[in-house]
Structure 1
Amino acid sequence: MRRYYQPVPKRTLECGAGTPTGLKKRANVTKKFNPDATTSDLNRHRSIDGYHGETKDKVGGGTSDHSKGRKGLEDFGYQSKSHELSSNHPDIGSAYRICFIASLDCARFLLMQGMAFSGPGQSPTSINKGNLLELIDLYKKRDKEVERAFDMNVVGNIDITSPLIQKGLAKACAQEVTEVIIGEIGDGNFTILIDDSHDMAEKYQMAVFVRFVNKKGKVIERFLGLEYLTEDTPAAFKETLVGLLAQHGLSISKLRGQGYDGASNMRCEFNDMQLLIHNENPYAFYVHCFAHQLESVLITVSRCSSSLIHDFFVSISLIITTTIESCQMMDKSTEKHHQTTLNKLESGEILSEGSNHKEKNLASLGGTRWGSYYTTLGRINMMWDSVLDVLMIVHQHGRQPSRAGGLIQTMESFEFVFILKMMLKLFTITNELSLVLQRKDEGIIQAVGQLTDVKECLQTLRNNGWESLFEDVKSFCATNWIPVPNMDEHIRATGHSRRDGVTLT
């Protein structure tokens, strides 16, 4: 046995020489820490020179904690005195607060009036600084304390009036208003109104309004939020809506009605979303939106059904914006129309009937958002020569001659005249019903009574109105030197290339 295992002398075990590694570690583990042997005075610690050679090299190395601490101590002693911390005067903080409150008051006023803080090209160095900065300057003139605060806080004024702070003020006001709206709803029931739109970057977004009865028994309708949509699907609409409601502490279980944009609803775009919400909450009944005009719905549906009608209304918008390019052009169009009307009265072509021949100008053609399409198309039809003359003037002397020249060619086409006359006949039938529907609950009974008559008139126009419409179009084209195509001739179908060979009569 001694051949393989040599006994370790007792003296060697006591000195630690030749001790196996396991025994050494166990001895270190079992050794207890003696807190009394330590010292709290750093100056009484052993100097680095008192360590063993190898330990001395490790402790005194450039990357050791000792060396890092020594270097930090030296850097702290040599720091620049110019960067010492200093406290601001108490008046500086008070001045900044006054400036901030004044800016917030001006921002709240502009937001309540629905006005922009600034427009394109407006900055603190321009003549017109923008609504917010100009209003702050007026505030300073009226309140000397505010003026002194802005003068004292010259450096901070740059931050207070910066676009980032302006955006923060608007966001803070929106959050406060939303909290008030949610507080008014409380634990009560509410309905929603949803509309879809696109922003300037063509991003698809959903606007949500809430309608509820407050504690005073009044029906209140408020804007809740605007959310971007990544997908144009019913599931995405519903998920976004539920997320927005949950964000403000509202539950879909309290929903008692759902309404949607009139034109989109007429195209059945929200039918699937209505069903998804109704399946989750059977008390969320559909509520018709009276805020959308019937004419706008008809135009939206017509534009989706035919590319020619879509291009027609695009041309109408361009004609309006081009003809009102300047006040001089408007005056010329009014003068031309007035002279044309006098000539027709003298020749007996039209009869003098007071209100039918009042002075009209092309500026009134611009308001097409709230049901003035009927009036707009009627005035273009009546002021045909005047509109063409103004377009020719713009083509010769305007800033966009090519667009005006293209609009002249578009107007003097059979397709444009045909759609103009057809839409005028359609709006003549539906105009009275559209006006009645705008009275909301007051005229709903009268609207229901007129609905049957309007449907019968539209059906008659569809079945028997072609001949009279075509004769009216041909007569107008002949009067204004517009060529009429042969109805029996094969022409290229819209939306197809000539090489496809798709034709129709």
Structure 2
Amino acid sequence: MRGEFNGLQALILNDCRYAFYVYFFAYRLQLALVAAAREVVEVHQFFKDLSDIVNIASTSSKRHDELQKAQVAEISHLVSINELATRTGMNQIGTLQRPGETRWSSHLNSVTSLLKMYNATSAVLKNLKNTASNYSQRGDAHNAYNRLRSFEFIFILHVMKEVLGITDNLCQALQRRSQDILNAMSLVLKTKDLIQKLKDDGWNELLKNMISFCETSELDFPDMNAGL
């Protein structure tokens, strides 16, 4: 509206000088969170790698089909060894989501979609680095595969899932039409408390989940007790 109706903010303030102009609560929260996170070099590199992995693994309809076939094969295998429940609506085939700077929840959706489709994505990239049509595509797939399989990437993937999951609840709440500024301030404080709790008490559970993920996906992980 700011660009479509010039001077609208001034007209409203003329009638009500105590009116607040707030530009997209959730949109600003997304930008602020991502910008702050990317001040950490490793996190900035993670999001760059995440975008590359998603683009390389699903950039064409052929690769998208390969990704879905890999998911079907993985789900069938897990069901056959009783590692996966088979209730109606479960184990649906998904797609990788691209993170976008201006789309609410897009970074969380990208992280969670990759976690869900991690082994299928690994299989597609492993195949591409050996069979892609030219050296450039093979090299890109090779680099993406190595980053995807690194513990550093897995570590940040899980950390960002937890942090973005906490802030996503705030994002969703701020998009409600009935939202008011006092309730929004309360939600921000609660979100800060949850992030602090994750920092203070969430390490053991986070580490446990990462190690379990690495074992399931046959990934190497460092000995956290080394040197103690």
TM-score normalised by L of structure 1:
0.39
1:318-369 deviation digits (Å, cap 9, x = unpaired): 011111232111001011112212332343323235444322123xx12534
Aligned partner of 1:334 in structure 2 is 68
Q: 1:383 and 2:123 equivalent?
A: no
1:458-488 deviation digits (Å, cap 9, x = unpaired): 2211111111111111221222232222446
1:311 counterpart SS class: helix
In the alignment, structure 1 segments of 5+ residues that lack a partner are: 1-177, 191-210, 214-218, 220-253, 257-282, 491-504
Q: 1:299 and 2:34 equivalent?
A: yes
- 1:359–1:481 CA distance, 2 compared to 1 (3 A): closer
- 1:331–1:458 CA distance, 2 compared to 1 (3 A): same
- 1:449–1:320 CA distance, 2 compared to 1 (3 A): same
Higher strand share: 1
1:263-302 mapped onto 2 (5 Å cutoff): 287-290=21-24, 292=27, 294-302=29-37
Aligned partner of 1:428 in structure 2 is 165
Checking the alignment, whether the CA contact within 8 Å between 1:293 and 1:434 is kept in structure 2 is: no
Q: 1:366 and 2:115 equivalent?
A: no
Checking the alignment, whether the CA contact within 8 Å between 2:46 and 2:153 is kept in structure 1 is: yes
| Cα distance in 2, alignment partners of residues 212 and 481 from structure 1 | 60
- 1:314–1:284 CA distance, 2 compared to 1 (3 A): farther
One of 68, 74, 79 as aligned partner of 1:345: 79
Checking the alignment, whether the CA contact within 8 Å between 1:394 and 1:404 is kept in structure 2 is: yes
| Cα distance in 2, alignment partners of residues 329 and 412 from structure 1 | 19
Aligned partner of 2:209 in structure 1 is 472
Larger Rg: 1
Q: 1:455 and 2:192 equivalent?
A: yes
One of 216, 220, 228 as aligned partner of 1:483: 220
1:19-418 mapped onto 2 (5 Å cutoff): 185=7, 211-213=9-11, 287-290=21-24, 292=27, 294-304=29-39, 306-362=40-96, 365-366=97-98, 368-369=100-101, 370=103, 371-398=105-132, 399=134, 400-418=137-155
Checking the alignment, whether the CA contact within 8 Å between 2:53 and 2:148 is kept in structure 1 is: no
2:178 counterpart SS class: helix
Q: Which has the higher contact order (CA 8 A, sep 6+)?
A: 2
Deviation at 1:317, TM superposition (A): 0.6
Checking the alignment, whether the CA contact within 8 Å between 2:54 and 2:98 is kept in structure 1 is: yes
Deviation at 1:212, TM superposition (A): 4.8
Higher helix share: 2
| Cα distance in 1, alignment partners of residues 165 and 14 from structure 2 | 39
416-425 or 454-463: bigger deviation: 454-463
Checking the alignment, whether the CA contact within 8 Å between 1:414 and 1:483 is kept in structure 2 is: yes
Tell me how large the CA RMSD over aligned residues is: 3.1
Deviation at 1:374, TM superposition (A): 1.4
TM-score normalised by L of structure 2:
0.81
| Cα distance in 1, alignment partners of residues 14 and 124 from structure 2 | 54
Checking the alignment, whether the CA contact within 8 Å between 1:368 and 1:376 is kept in structure 2 is: no
1:184-207 deviation digits (Å, cap 9, x = unpaired): x4xxxx5xxxxxxxxxxxxxxxxx
- 1:367–1:424 CA distance, 2 compared to 1 (3 A): closer
